[in-house]
Chain A
Amino acid sequence: MTPGDISAFAQGAVVTVALSVAGILIGLPVGLGLALIRWARVPVIGRLVALYVSILRATPLVTLLLLLFFALPNVGVPIDPYSAAILALSMNTSAFNCEIWRAALLAFPKDQLEAAMSVGMSAGLRFRRIVLPQIARASLPALVNEMSLLIKVTPVLAVVGVVDITRAAVRIGAETYEPLPPFLVAVALYAPIIYGLVSLQRFIERRQAAAEAA
């Protein structure tokens, strides 16, 4: 590999990580917001959120990405590849996060809320001080799992021209007519990140199980 290749991979890695982090940081609170709308059974909007989640969970990221990238300019909203990538990732992961948060909310014990009401906590305070810390803990392993799934689908962002790890590998392979080595380098870049998240998830699950057993 030439120094140019190495720097292409390094830049690609930065792009992959940056887009993933952006997707995660947007997807987490948006997913929570969507879950709260469903949990509160807001009329009409709650139904719409359920529909949004159902459709997005069934839509491959590549299809969603192509839709956003080609159709938005068509209706007068110009969008560059990176914005399209972040938008597609956030929409995709927010739908899955919504289901994770919602499961935790549905399993949340009613008497915990009542105890908070009985000491006069307002709705905002109840959510912030009593509900959120507990559902965040309960959702954490599933949320980390979703993060690793998100990173695993990022290579598809290259189809609209995002220059990430995968795109760098494809380009180098095409230039050298030796596609295998750059792909293996790409694997060596992705695997530790994903493995790190998978290990983190296992670690959290083990620690929580141990805390419950004690």
Chain B
Amino acid sequence: MNALPHPVLNVVGVSKSFGAVEVLSDISFQVGKGETVCVLGPSGSGKSTLLRCINWLEKPDAGHVYLNGEPVGVTSAGVVMNDRRLSQIRTRIGMVFQHFALWPHLTVLQNLIEAPLQVQRRPRAEIHEEALALLAKVGLHDKRDAFPARLSGGQKQRVGIARALAMRPDLLLFDEPTSALDPELVGEVLVVMRDLAHEGMTMVIVTHEMTFAREAATRVLFLDRGRMVETGTPDQFFSRPATERARQFLQRYAAEAVTAQR
């Protein structure tokens, strides 16, 4: 893989173990501006842990993460960052959670406004206007005063995406954003994500939606048992997988898709 000149995200040799189990082993990759990178692999392959290592919700045992060339988590001098410094960097990395993680004590609009106001301390009027525009964009303008408990799963996740976008992040991470949804609600979330991809948002998406990955991704990473087994364009990966493990993985998905259609 060629090194990008100015990657938004640069992951270098990240490893992570939980006790004796090695979940990630020496993972390196880069994401350029405007790329949509989908991380694929069987469950337990370490995809979510990799994502959580990028914004240091999980502390990597080894390796480095750089956002726009700046180190994340550990300073250039090798010192682990304090909470304040780490928080500052996290404001530039948005995250969308599998189970939404909306704040239940705040309304939809308040969920969007909370961090830009409290953390970034941007002017209230500007944030408010932007938040309303984002809600319109994800089709939930009329739900702005509802509490999260009143929303469907698909609506919750669209709010989750809008909440991440309200921070104007340089990079957006998605942790299996449609896995917790009823099948009929998956589509409405994928539409929003596809639009973001077209608009040139830089995204890393952990997902099991193969069709989405094939259509929307600029690049695919394939993880298996904590190792990065394969990377390439969706076309290469889905049509001509280079490794036996990727072939097996894709076959199983194809079989499941056929069963699901019946």
Contacts and interface: CB of A to CB of B under 8 A. Distances in A.
Interface of A: 109, 111-112, 114-123, 125, 129-130, 133-134, 137, 211-212, 214
Interface of B: 55, 57, 83-84, 87-95, 97, 99, 101-105, 114-115, 118-120, 149-150, 163-164, 167, 173
27 contacts: A111-B99, A112-B103, A114-B57, A114-B97, A114-B101, A115-B97, A115-B101, A117-B55, A118-B57, A118-B90, A118-B164, A118-B173, A119-B90, A119-B94, A119-B114, A119-B115, A119-B119, A119-B164, A120-B87, A120-B89, A122-B83, A123-B83, A125-B118, A134-B103, A134-B104, A134-B105, A214-B149
A118 B88 CA distance: 10
A122 B87 contact: yes
A126 to B, nearest CB: 9
A117 B173 CA distance: 13
A135 to B, nearest CB: 10
Task: Pick from B84, B118, B164 the residue with the most CB of A within 10 Å.
Answer: B118
A212 B150 CA distance: 9
A74 B92 CA distance: 60
A22 B83 CA distance: 36
Given A111-B97, A211-B149, A214-B149, A117 B90 contact: yes
A205 to B, nearest CB: 17
A34 B95 CA distance: 33
Given A134-B104, A214-B149, A120 B97 contact: no
Given A111-B99, A114-B57, A212-B149, A120 B105 contact: no
A119 B94 CA distance: 7
Given A119-B163, A122-B84, 19 more contacts: A111-B97, A111-B101, A112-B101, A114-B97, A115-B103, A117-B55, A117-B57, A118-B97, A119-B95, A119-B119, A119-B167, A120-B87, A120-B120, A121-B87, A123-B83, A129-B114, A129-B118, A211-B149, A214-B149
B93 A118 contact: yes
Nearest to B116: A119
A79 B150 CA distance: 54
A133 B105 contact: yes
A130 B87 contact: no
A187 B158 CA distance: 56
Nearest to A125: B118
Contacts of B149: 211-212, 214
A123 B83 CA distance: 7
Nearest to B99: A111
A120 B163 CA distance: 13
A117 to B, nearest CB: 6
Contacts of B150: 214
Contact of B119 (A109, A112, A120, A133): A120
Contacts of B90: 117-120
B103 A120 contact: no
A137 B147 CA distance: 15
A117 B87 contact: yes
A144 B27 CA distance: 52
A36 to B, nearest CB: 16
A128 to B, nearest CB: 9
A118 B100 CA distance: 12
Contact of A137 (B88, B105, B173): B105
A122 B91 CA distance: 11
A118 B83 contact: no
B97 A121 contact: no
